[in-house]
A = this chain, B = another copy of it.
Amino acid sequence: MLLLTIGQLARLSHCKIPTIRYYEEIAILPKAERSEGNQRRYHELHLQRLKFILHCRALGFSLDEIRQLIDLQVCTDHDPHEAHQIAEKHLKDVLLKIQQLQSLADELQSIVNSCNSDSPHRCNILSVLNKS
């Protein structure tokens, strides 16, 4: 079986080296074996796990949520739909965030517009922002 150095793992996963070490430190990635000279050595399973983590991160899951999802993979004595619930709650959070950002964008747009429609020499964005 082939072993990877941390640099190779980083290249294969597109994850930075300090981040890999950080994930090991917070125990979201299993500890690596060590070479005689104390350098980390990884195998396939680490790569898989790391890709899983990065994919979840890209989906906006927190490391804590990811930890829960991993627990569900490892232990089978869970409600089979617990992962489902986590994903659904996260989806709800995301949809809510989109709504908030949208109304925020609307307000920003009108602020920006308030300047365009004005004289070219005086920008009243600051005074608009000052109105609470």
Q: Is the CB of A112 within 8 A of B125?
A: no
Q: Which residues of B contact A72 (CB under 8 A)?
A: 126
Closest chain-B Cβ to A81's Cβ sits at a distance in Å of 5
Does A121 reach chain B (CB closer than 8 Å)? Answer: yes
Q: A80-B121, A81-B115 are in contact. Are A51 and B88 (CB under 8 A)?
A: no
Q: Is the CB of B83 within 8 A of A132?
A: no
Complex-state Cα separation, A87 to B127, whole angstroms = 13
A85-132, CB < 8 A from B: 87-88, 90-91, 94-95, 97-98, 101-102, 104-105, 107-109, 111-112, 115, 121-123, 125-126, 129-130, 132
Q: Is the CB of B105 within 8 A of A91?
A: yes
Q: Which residues of B contact A132 (CB under 8 A)?
A: 51-52, 54-55
| Copies assembled | 2
Complex-state Cα separation, A45 to B69, whole angstroms = 49
For the complex, would chain A's binding face be called helix, strand, loop or mixed by DSSP majority?
helix
Q: Is the CB of A125 within 8 A of B91?
A: no
Does A48 reach chain B (CB closer than 8 Å)? Answer: yes
What would be 12 A-B contacts, judged by CB atoms less than 8 Å apart? A51-B130, A52-B129, A52-B132, A55-B132, A56-B129, A60-B101, A60-B104, A80-B122, A83-B123, A84-B115, A91-B109, A98-B98
